[in-house]
Structure 1
Amino acid sequence: MAKHGRIDVLINNAGYGLFGAAEELSDQDIDQILQTDLVGSVQMIRSLIPVMRKQGGGRLIQISSYGGQVAFPGNSLYHAAKFGIEGFVESVAQEVAPFNISATIVEPGGARTEFRYGSAHVAKLMPEYDGTPTHAFLKMLDPANGLAPGDPDKMAARIIETVDQKPAPLHLVLDSRARQATIERLTERLKEYQGQAEVAKSTDIED
């Protein structure tokens, strides 16, 4: 603001991965990832809304993950943060739309950044979970098993391209495997809800 007098776009990209079963995580593990991946992003957006509202518009771009739609074992608190920030942004997008402020939630798949091999935090693992799906992430975190498929330069280019897109996409999934996994999970979820019509109706107050 001091340099340019306005802020047109926020790229909210603070975050890291936390791996381990729910009971393997310490209170400090939980507090730290929620403060970084959820609360930090919430507060950045809250700090920019008054600026963009007064200047007549802007773009909020929140980096989430396809892990904000699809959950895997061994990532419970990471998913809690990403599911949480997606709900927050979806609500805020409706609140700020009258002020010409739009929002996009970016949902990348695995990319060749330091997310897996540098910044990832691993809990103090318990032998009880060895050999179960919960510890399958250990294979993913080992570069010897292959690198992530996503190209971070291409992902950044796709994000930048959306800045002037109108209407702005509320969700932007990056990486074909992430897109497929998201579609499959949403399809399963939709089928589950569609099959509960009678149960849902049975709890209505009768006229």
Structure 2
Amino acid sequence: MPQRNWLITGANSGFGRLMTEQLLARGDQVACTVRDPASMTELKARHGDHLLVHRLDLTDFTAIRPAVDAAFAALGRIDVVVSNAGYGLLGAAEEATDDQVIHQLQTNLTGSIQLIRSALPYLRRQHGGRILQLSTVGGQAAFPGGSMYHAGKWGIEGFVDAVAQEVAVFGIGCTLVEPGGARTNFRYVNSRVGPKIDAYDASPSRHVNRMLEEGTAVAIGDPAKMVAHMIASVDQNPAPRRLALGSDAYTVMHKQLSERLAALEAQRDLAFSTDG
């Protein structure tokens, strides 16, 4: 298992924190970005120069490229770029405020796009590297109450799918990581909702509000195991385009993808009939 240099966004909690800890424990070097560097004080004290901490808020687009430049300057070469930072904006689409919608897409979509774009010149010049984009089961399947979160994740999946085809010639691999529910702080700490509209009490979107308010549902996914598989995926060649993690992710994505394929096949004659 070769030692590698990593760049990880959102390393203060959840998958990002666990990945950082596992990588440092095996001797890799990590340059991480967080909004509050103080959240990494204990880990920095334990691992010293193996951990580089940069302050970055992905909604500050002007700060993304300088942060990436600093990470590559410090480590010389970065083998894996992990676009992990993000959060959930849940509830019915109409209930979210305009500011919430903008902030969600700036963080989960545009910020991730700009991070990858900033890293590509370095990966291209070093003739290789790997990009791991944290997505979700919600990047392939859709649920009521998740419309704004899906907008960002389906968007970043399309972006990475296209980029993977653009940069394979340079030896750069891209993997979309699609976990199901995991026992991190994403659901009950990092998720946000908009102000309720009474009419949506009759909508299935309200299930998400009830789940967050009750705070009792426990996800089946073991985040440490999921992170270990994310790390191990970097050893696969070629890079897996997608990495489904969790029986719930596999089951839901299989069902919705099968339904979409069946609906498409039912329209075959119609589609072909419009050719000139």
Place the TM-score, normalised by the shorter chain, in its bin.
over 0.9
**8 Å CA contact 2:188, 2:215 repeated in 1:** no
Letter in structure 2 aligned against 1:45 = I
Equivalent in the alignment of 1:9: 80
Residue 142 (structure 1) shift: 4.3
**1:90 is aligned to 2:161:** yes
Partners of 1:68 and 1:3 in 2: CA distance: 33
- Kindly indicate whether residue 118 of structure 2 is the aligned counterpart of residue 26 of structure 1: no
> What 5-or-longer segments of structure 1 have no aligned partner?
none
Which consecutive aligned stretches of 4+ in structure 1 deviate over 4 angstroms post-superposition? none
Residue of structure 1 equivalent to 2:110: 39
Q: Distance in 1 between the 2:142 and 2:273 partners? A: 30
Q: Which residue of 1 aligns with 2:196?
A: 125
Find 2:240's aligned residue among 163, 169, 172. Answer: 169
- Partner residue, 2:61: none
Root mean square deviation of aligned Cα: 1.1
Which amino acid in structure 2 is aligned with residue 172 of structure 1? L
2:94 and 2:146 map into 1 onto residues whose CA distance is: 11
Of 121, 125, 140, which aligns to 1:54?
125
CA distance in 1, matches of 2:171, 2:214: 44
1:146 aligns with 2:217: yes
Out of 173-182 and 126-135, give the one that drifted further: 126-135
Distance 1:144 1:83, change over 3 A: closer
Which residue is 1:115 aligned to?
186
* 8 Å CA contact 1:15, 1:36 repeated in 2: yes
State the identity as a percent: 52
Residue 157, structure 1, aligned to residue 228, structure 2: yes
Counterparts of 1:111 and 1:121, CA distance in 2: 17
Looking at both structures, which has the greater relative contact order when contacts are Cα pairs under 8 Å and sequence separation is at least 6?
A: 1
More deviation, 173-182/129-138: 129-138
- Tell me the equivalent position of 1:183: 254
Residue 106 of structure 1 aligns with which residue? Answer: 177
Amino acid at match of 1:186: L
The counterpart of 1:68, out of the listed 124, 139, 146, is 139
Given the two structures, how large is their TM-score scaled by the length of structure 2? 0.72
User: In the alignment, residue 134 of structure 2 is paired with which amino acid?
Assistant: I
Output one character per residue of 1:3-55: Cα deviation in whole Å (capped at 9) or x when no partner: 22111100100110111211111110110000000001000000010000000
May I ask how many residue pairs the two structures share in their alignment?
Answer: 205
